[in-house]
Structure 1
Amino acid sequence: MLNQQIINHAKSCGNKESCGFVLKKNNNFEYFPCRNIALNPYDSFEISTEDWLRAEEIGEVVALVHSHPDDFPILSKTDQLIQQKTALDWWLVHSNSVYQFRLMLPLLGRDFKHGTTDCYTLFRDAYHLSGINLPDFYRKYNWWSEGKNYYLENMPENGFYKVSANEITEGDVIIICLGSSVPNHAAIYVGEQMILHHCPNRKSKRDIYNGFWLKYTHSIWRHKEWQSYGFMGISNNLAINLK
């Protein structure tokens, strides 16, 4: 019902971007449609202060909603920058579907904490931005030394298949043996011989994919539902510059 209300509002706006809020009221969720007051509502949206205050009077704002009638179902660079400022989940309407993008830390510059903000978290969050949702799970530190093989066990189960090194393309996942014979580190290939990853005791960053990282690569994987436009969701996040 909630999603259909959101979709119906987007349809009523035609080629203009719709916008609104998801509100929580008395343990129920409801949609609060807003008027798009942007100067160019066909390519952007803006919610008035009056609509925002009125929504907050009705219930707790838990998500901001807008549509991409003529664009891809991913958050733009501007969307992701403003999402950080609003500190809300953002929902996106596209082609009669609603895509939910949770609030997350920017992909670059994260502090490392195993099981919370580690290489799998970065991999999972990057894929979330591309429109593919992966499960989270508890992982004890040093699992690779205790008979576990999480990456090789979980990649096929979550829709990934192996590709050869000469097939690598933006968005592919590189599984690496980091100080272990068991593959225990994930990186995202971001093009131009660069990877995005998060090593212990370091901030998440881009690195050149050669030398050590290339030597200790175990395998390269691609998701069966991967779309080339999905990488735009990742690259848009890499481009945001938070002050």
Structure 2
Amino acid sequence: MALEQQILAHAQAVAPAECCGLVVATAEGERYYPADNISVMTDTFEIDPADWIKAELAGDIIAVVHSHPTGPAALSIADRVGQRNTGLPWWLAVNDEIRRFRNVAPLLERQFEHGRTDCYTLIRDAYHLSGLELTDYPRTDDWWSAGDDLYLDNIRREGFVRVGPAAPPQLGDVVLICLGGTKACHGAIYLGDGYLLHHPVNRLSKRDLYSGYWQRQTHSIWRHKQWQQCDFTAISNDLAASSFSM
């Protein structure tokens, strides 16, 4: 039985409790090691330490697995805290499929490093947590002054459509902003209630009120065609996990 089929079979066998296990890289290839969920609650999981040790002895643990029998198709607040603690990808069995989540850095208070943790990385990672994969385009520092256009050259092929100028932003919309010129060289995500999530140059990623300077410098607002099918809960959970772990 294929790896993902084994995980889904395990999830179905223990529902309505959450299943849990580990994906291990062994000499024979990747294997799924099901584990006992020793949590006393049905809507959470805790891997039996004996099962974790067994998996470690078999090879390198490359992913933590668990299920959400009734959804949502996103990592919970506790899941994101747990993922940060393990430093591993987490796989989620939900709706008869496996969703794989990279161990992305917390969306808040990231250090700025152009091309690695910058405003586009923040958008890409937030959308990854929400179930939408955006291309990681190579970009040189100061690309906006070198004739390149990271955002407008690529945003439509990534599945976004421009929102009409009179339409208010909605949860998850990408807001493109001009900084000191007319080119859209900065991107942010609208969080609702008049707030943006963004990563300013050489500062920590943060929430900001979408007013004053940011509104005046707004170039355009973009909405992903599939956004109604994905879940903003994933972004909210990551932000809450940062508050929880402080």
Q: TM-score per shorter chain, which class?
A: over 0.9
Corresponding residue of 1:57: 57
CA distance in 1, matches of 2:108, 2:15: 36
Residue deviations 1:62-113, cap 9 Å, x none? Answer: 1000000112110000100111111111000111110001012111111101
Corresponding residue of 1:217: 218
Q: How does 1:96-175 map to 2 (within 5 A)?
A: 96-164=96-164, 165-175=166-176
Residue 19 of structure 2 aligns with an amino acid whose one-letter code is S
CA distance in 2, matches of 1:188, 1:209: 10
Residue 94 of structure 1 aligns with an amino acid whose one-letter code is V
Corresponding residue of 1:202: 203
Compute the displacement of 1:26 (Å): 2.1
Q: Report if the CA contact (8 A) 1:101-1:129 is conserved.
A: yes
CA distance in 2, matches of 1:97, 1:130: 15
Flag as ranges the 4+ runs of structure 1 deviating above 4 A. none
Compute the displacement of 1:23 (Å): 0.4
CA distance in 1, matches of 2:23, 2:214: 43
Compute the displacement of 1:137 (Å): 2.0
Residue ranges of structure 2 left out of the alignment (5+ in a row): none
Identity of aligned residues (%): 48
Corresponding residue of 2:75: 75
Normalised TM-score (structure 1)? 0.96
Corresponding residue of 1:91: 91
Residue 114 of structure 1 aligns with an amino acid whose one-letter code is H
Corresponding residue of 1:19: 20
Compute the displacement of 1:166 (Å): 2.5
CA distance in 2, matches of 1:27, 1:112: 40
Compute the displacement of 1:212 (Å): 0.9
Is it true that 1:186 corresponds to 2:187 in the alignment? yes
Compute the displacement of 1:228 (Å): 6.8
Is it true that 1:31 corresponds to 2:28 in the alignment? no
Compute the displacement of 1:169 (Å): 0.9
Tell me: CA distance 1:142–1:49, structure 2 relative to 1, closer, same or farther (3 Å): same
Aligned pair count reads: 242
Residue 50 of structure 1 aligns with an amino acid whose one-letter code is A
Q: Report if the CA contact (8 A) 2:190-2:197 is conserved.
A: yes
CA distance in 1, matches of 2:28, 2:175: 42
Corresponding residue of 2:239: 238
Residue 166 of structure 1 aligns with an amino acid whose one-letter code is A
CA distance in 1, matches of 2:127, 2:139: 19
Aligned-residue CA RMSD in angstroms? 1.3
Residue deviations 1:178-228, cap 9 Å, x none? Answer: 123211110000011000000111100000001111011111111111137
CA distance in 1, matches of 2:50, 2:176: 49
Residue ranges of structure 1 left out of the alignment (5+ in a row): none
Q: Report if the CA contact (8 A) 1:37-1:46 is conserved.
A: yes
Residue deviations 1:22-76, cap 9 Å, x none? Answer: 1001272111111111112x21111111011011011111100000011211000
Residue 82 of structure 1 aligns with an amino acid whose one-letter code is G
CA distance in 2, matches of 1:141, 1:180: 16
Q: Report if the CA contact (8 A) 2:71-2:95 is conserved.
A: no
